[in-house]
Amino acid sequence: MLSDTHRQPDIEIAELIDRLPKVELHVHLEGTLEPELAFRLAARNGVALPFASVEEMRAAYHFTDLQSFLDVYYAACSVLVAREDFRELTRAYLARAHADRVRHVEPFFDPQTHTDRGIPIEAVIAGILDGLADGQREYGITSGLILSFLRHLPAEAASATLDAAEPWLDRIVAVGLDSSEVGFPPEPFAAIFARARALGLRSVAHAGEEGDASLVARTLDSLRVSRIDHGVRAATDPALMRRLAESGITLTACPNSNVRLRVFSTMEQSTIRTLLEAGVAVTINSDDPAYFGGYIGDNYRAVAAALALTSGDLYRLAANAINGSFATAERKRELLDELEGVVAPGRGR
Ligand code: HPA
Ligand code: ZN
């Protein structure tokens, strides 16, 4: 564990974080695969994992950059085979999210990671939808599923994936773009994002994680997304921050991920405070919690401790997530009412 992700905020702030009704807008379902479940699924499906034990698997999670993580993350997905596996993965995440008071979630899944190894897309999507329905019934967690394309694969493959997902598009809220950022620019995906929009889908894309601020601007220009996933590098460009603030673009920051993947060498270097002060609608999320040492509550606590967040900051971060979600206006109102019962808007930053 890195010590800088485990500093604790003061007790009142920690209690407030526990009580905040949370909305999570940046979590990869494949990144919630805990080693215990990976081993159980490996045994059930007759798949070999390159680790002798759960402990050995967890101990191997030392990453030097985004790609070193993605190699491990894609390899571990080999244990996900049947519809029931995707349902269990989704249920396990929602149980953990419920413990952190997550009320609404918009998770990503990467269909190509599974279809490219011969898993039918139906098993992937139907299994995840089963799990999301379980979570709504058991915990009241509402959701909007995001189909994410892998940017290291050609745009034609993304287009074929959208075609294959056609029977389920009424239960998918948005398309996304993830995987290796540097060397895989957004522009080749402009046509498919336009097609997704024409089909009534919203859109989001990863940018400004390893790539610099110019990639955030290029992603907005070419893909016309309503949220940027990560986007934390935008803080180096005041004009871009003004553009983000004025256009109401939500950034889905993932603080523990950024430290684990060395986007920032310490949590104190996180740009979340700078973004808040510039009026950018930044939010706090977990990204790949099974790999980065914590779920959304841990991420809130780590940032609050490192950046001395106030109750006004916490209100703003939680409200940004509600307002930036694709939930209905009615659901947003419910969540804002619940939030305001816990913390007053205050002056914020
Ligand atoms: N960045 C890009 N792709 C990803 C990530 C990330 O942080 N996590 C899972 N896929
Ligand atoms: Zn991500």
For residue 177, report the distance from its CA to the centre of ligand 2, in Å: 9
Catalytic: which of 30, 209, 246, 277?
Answer: 209
Cα–Cα dist 173/143, whole Å = 9
DSSP 10: P
Whose CA is closest to atom 2 on ligand 1? 179
The model carries a pTM of: 0.97
Residue count of the chain, please give it: 349
Structure token digits, residue 203:
């859109």
Block residue for tokens 């841990």? 298
Whose CA is closest to atom 5 on ligand 1? 179
Burial 187-221 (b: 16+ CB within 10 A, else e): eebeebbeebbeeebbbbbbbbbbbebebbbebbe
Per-residue pLDDT of the chain (349 residues; tens, 9 = 90+): 444 456 788 999 999 999 999 999 999 999 999 999 999 999 999 999 999 999 999 999 999 999 999 999 999 999 999 999 999 999 999 999 999 999 999 999 999 999 999 999 999 999 999 999 999 999 999 999 999 999 999 999 999 999 999 999 999 999 999 999 999 999 999 999 999 999 999 999 999 999 999 999 999 999 999 999 999 999 999 999 999 999 999 999 999 999 999 999 999 999 999 999 999 999 999 999 999 989 999 999 999 999 999 999 999 999 999 999 999 999 999 999 999 999 988 744 4
Ligand approaching nearest to the C-alpha of 209: 1
| Number of other CB atoms surrounding residue 288 within 10 Å | 24
Pocket of ligand 1 (CB under 6 A): 28, 31, 66, 73, 178-179, 206, 209, 257, 287-288
Closest approach atom of ligand 1 to CA 261:
7
Those residues whose C-beta lies under 8 Å from the C-beta of residue 349, and which sit 6 or more positions away, are: 273, 276, 277, 310, 312, 313, 316
In the residue annotation, 55 being an active-site residue is answered as no
**pLDDT for 272:** 98
Q: Which CATH class is domain 11-342?
A: alpha beta
Cα 105-293-92 angle, rounded to 5 deg? 45
Block residue for tokens 């916490």? 314
**pLDDT for 268:** 98
Domain boundaries, the chain: 11-342
